Structure 1
């Protein structure tokens, strides 16, 4: 289980995260939502080791990981895909994933060999198949569509063999069809790998469709948490984020 306890972080006079406590059960699929400036990305930065909190604990793999480097956190089993994909633009899709798998297996010396080790190749092929990128294995990463670049970024995170996967706005910048294709891949990945997945998302139709639990942040604090139905009906969330129009549209659809 990943457990965040009384987490707080300030930047100058701005408190970005305020006494946040959330438990994420093993194998859960959880959405983190909230208006712009709510502290969602800061929250991911704190739990992944990118920045250190001023107070609080992040308990993962049975230990408080506050103060651990991002690399140490990855080694423990937490990986992250970013809002802006972090790729190897000059490598093919297959070579990029192979490099990430090789690095995680601590066999970087094999990158100088003409052919990767059998176990490395099998893991690479498994990731490409899982994400639907096998047909684009020989395409340069920079030539992929926006959606496929995001999938590749998730693939690079999967190469770390994570128990917990953080997805920062996986559908950002996509059109409606591409968004649903992406989120279908995320849901399939979660179902197949049975890992704990946390994702930040602004599209409420997506959130309400797939999230088991939803945590709403506002000004860095937890405003509400619950199931899709509970969040959809929460007046504080409607006022702060969803808006009356979204609530009424849902109510009309239930009639």
Structure 2
């Protein structure tokens, strides 16, 4: 499935007197690779919750390929084409990697009865194998999800979302908790997945070296609002972003690279 166009129009979310997201309007062109950055508490994860249906907006709209999906049930949003990584240990801890992917696909397609028959059906097993190969998990097909390393669990999170053929894939800090080498291996794998599938990929990341290396476009949030957006170089040199988030030293180091 090719990428879809994701539009956010005036998204606002309040919790009591706290404004978590304030009038966020962003347009993610189909098939693009974008990063969202910003200080802790900037509203990045809340924005993902609003897009994926985990949280309903106080105001504003979310459009996928021009269709309003604001406030739809989470499963309906997934079926429309918005994918987001699962928490593996909470979903399929006693399933192998292959079984986890097969179960996700069957559930997505409303074929849960197949979970209690011959499992997995041949067509689903083939699709799971394709995703495992794409994500570099083929050698771990028979390993229980709960026995995977942290990095491989994150990869399975992504694979579970990818198995549902999303038009838009949301990744919330895919390299969190990893060492430097493992982070780069993960983000290189993510980049290869994007090149192979060309879905619209949006990721949240705190490692600026990673962001500036692979993102086509960078959006910066602060206090729930859009502070800036542009190419990595434009964002790196933006005075407001330097002052609010990057710091002059990081900006200068990046500019010299």
TM-score grouping bracket, smaller chain normalisation: over 0.9
Instruction: Give 1:115-154 correspondences, 5 Å limit.
Output: 115-154=119-158
* Alpha-carbon shift at residue 43 of structure 1 (Å): 0.4
The residue number in structure 2 matching 1:51 is 55
Q: Secondary structure of the residue that 1:139 maps to in structure 2?
A: coil
Aligned residues: 253
Distance 1:29 1:85 in 2: 28
Contact map agreement 1:83 1:169 (CA 8 A) in 2: no
Q: Secondary structure of the residue that 2:247 maps to in structure 1?
A: helix
The residue number in structure 2 matching 1:74 is 78
Q: In the superposition, relative to structure 1, how do residues 156 and 95 fare at CA in structure 2: closer, same or farther (>3 Å)?
A: same
The residue number in structure 2 matching 1:165 is 169
Contact map agreement 2:86 2:157 (CA 8 A) in 1: yes
Q: Residue 203 of structure 2 is aligned with which of 199, 205, 208?
A: 199
Q: Which runs of 5+ in 1 are unaligned?
A: none
Contact map agreement 1:223 1:236 (CA 8 A) in 2: yes
Distance 1:167 1:161 in 2: 15
Q: Residue 211 of structure 1 is aligned with which of 196, 211, 215?
A: 215
The residue number in structure 1 matching 2:100 is 96
- Asked whether 1:65 is paired with 2:69, we answer yes
- Asked whether 1:181 is paired with 2:185, we answer yes
What is the RMSD of the two structures over their aligned residues, measured on CA atoms? 1.4
Q: Which runs of 5+ in 2 are unaligned?
A: none
- TM-score normalised per structure 1: 0.95
Distance 2:100 2:64 in 1: 28
Distance 1:86 1:66 in 2: 26
Q: Deviations over 1:74-109 (max 9, x none)?
A: 010111015887541111111111111111222221
Q: Secondary structure of the residue that 1:102 maps to in structure 2?
A: helix
- TM-score normalised per structure 2: 0.95
